[in-house]
Amino acid sequence: MNTNNIEQLKAVLDHIKATFVGKDDIIDLLGISLIARENTFLLGPPGTAKSAIVKSLSKGIENGKNFEYLLTRFTEPNELFGPFDIKKLREGELVTNTDGMMPEASMVFLDEIFNANSAILNSLLMALNEKVLRRGKQILKLPALMFVGASNVLPEDEALNALFDRFLVRVKCDYVNPDLLNQVLLAGWKLEKNATGDIPVIQPENIKELQGETKKVNLTPIISTYVDVIHNLRNTGINVSDRRAVKLQNLIAASAIFCGRQEAILSDLWVLKYIWDTEEQIEILEGIINNVIEKDITDDSHPQALYNKAPNPEEVIKEVNALKERWKNDTLSFEEQNVIKDKLRFTQSRADWINNDEQKQFIKNEIDALWQKILQTL
């Protein structure tokens, strides 16, 4: 393994972290996705530095061509993939002029991705999934190291769920903690003045070498636990298809490579916190995955594996109260009863991660009381 490539990538990511305070998890995940050659989706309101972070990462890839576009409902294929070559068209050939367009880019950032319309959707799905573009008889192999999509909302249209599914990693990009605002202002002003100093870079070829190294990682030490986690997630209602389960191994391997290892360890499963479909699943995933990776006693873990986000006690008790109200319904079907019980189990697991002991005990007492009511009606 070429450790120089890893150090170069770490230098790029560290530079971005210094510029964008409080965004370490997002930046680290972009680094992991880059090594794994998997796509990342950023969910967050305007003004949370989604595009700026991706632009900074793009600048860190030396000699790489980058493509960024804000999608609207009226975006046409030519705007992304390039227009047809007029000269060739007169000769009866459909050949795309890709100069400066997405098919030539090393990094692709598509903002407001769920504005994609039917005219570009099929081509975009193939590009994201297979890194291939088909236009007419022309088939272009895309050099993209990674696609990043962003939106301030999740898709509601069934047709767009397939597009969302093409982004293996999902990260919520929110406003930073108010306690960090002073650091944010200083770093932002430095960026405005272009006074960030020399920018560390890495060559696209070096990233491709890292991507190749992931295929050599030994996953045997964690595969049994990984299978159990997938079964557990499916039982909770978190959809993990066979295809996604296979591709997620790339992220686990990338975490190992980032840490300079050629063998995966239990803590590399931290990446599974970021495979949610809905915002409600975020804390559920954190509770389940943290419970698994805390058993890792090795010292060579990825920094993000050690960062556990505690649930908000107020949100947890609201969920318990909501489940109480639902259980009062005398006409619940057997399936609806099972859904409530499943959600209560996961709420219970989240409560274990609450920092305040008094709040934790209060919530656990409320959960136990609800379990008693459920058992009495069975």
Residues 265 and 121 occupy one common structural domain: no
Of 280, 306, 332, the last residue of a domain is 306
Residues 163 and 222 occupy one common structural domain: no
| Residue-by-residue pLDDT tens, the chain, 378 positions | 778 999 999 999 999 998 888 889 999 999 999 999 999 999 999 888 888 899 899 999 987 788 999 999 999 999 999 887 767 666 666 777 888 899 999 999 999 999 999 889 989 999 999 999 887 777 889 999 999 999 999 998 888 999 999 999 999 998 876 666 666 667 666 666 665 557 899 999 999 999 999 999 999 999 999 999 999 999 888 989 999 999 999 999 999 999 999 999 999 999 999 999 998 888 888 888 988 888 787 778 888 887 655 667 888 898 899 899 888 887 888 888 888 887 888 788 778 777 788 888 999 999 999 999 888 876
In this prediction, residue 139 carries a pLDDT of: 86
* CA angle at 61 for the pair 20 and 10, rounded to the nearest 5°: 55
Residues 319 and 300 occupy one common structural domain: no
Residues 157 and 290 occupy one common structural domain: no
User: Is 18 among the domain residues?
Assistant: yes
Residues 252 and 319 occupy one common structural domain: no
User: Is 278 among the domain residues?
Assistant: yes
User: Is 208 among the domain residues?
Assistant: no
User: Is 202 among the domain residues?
Assistant: no
User: Is 203 among the domain residues?
Assistant: no
Which tokens hold the place of 276?
Answer: 């949610």
Residues 150 and 80 occupy one common structural domain: yes
Domain of 219, in residue numbers: 215-306
User: Is 210 among the domain residues?
Assistant: no
Q: Please state, in angstroms and rounded to a whole number, the distance separating the CA atoms of residues 47 and 174.
A: 9
Of 264, 284, 306, the last residue of a domain is 306
User: Is 231 among the domain residues?
Assistant: yes
Residues 297 and 330 occupy one common structural domain: no
In this prediction, residue 65 carries a pLDDT of: 85
CA dihedral (206, 210, 216, 218) in degrees, to 10, reads: 150
Bridge partners of 68?
A: 109
Segment (H or E) for 140: strand 138-141
Residues 268 and 335 occupy one common structural domain: no
Residues 272 and 317 occupy one common structural domain: no
Q: Residue 176 carries which side chain, given as an amino acid letter?
A: V
Residues 85 and 228 occupy one common structural domain: no
Residue 169, SS3 per DSSP: strand
Residues 263 and 282 occupy one common structural domain: yes
Domains in the chain: how many in total? 3
In this prediction, residue 7 carries a pLDDT of: 95
pTM tops 0.75, yes or no: yes
- CB count within 10 Å of CB 106 equals 20
User: Is 25 among the domain residues?
Assistant: yes
Which tokens hold the place of 21?
Answer: 């305070």
178: domain CATH number is 3.40.50.300
Residues 14 and 145 occupy one common structural domain: yes
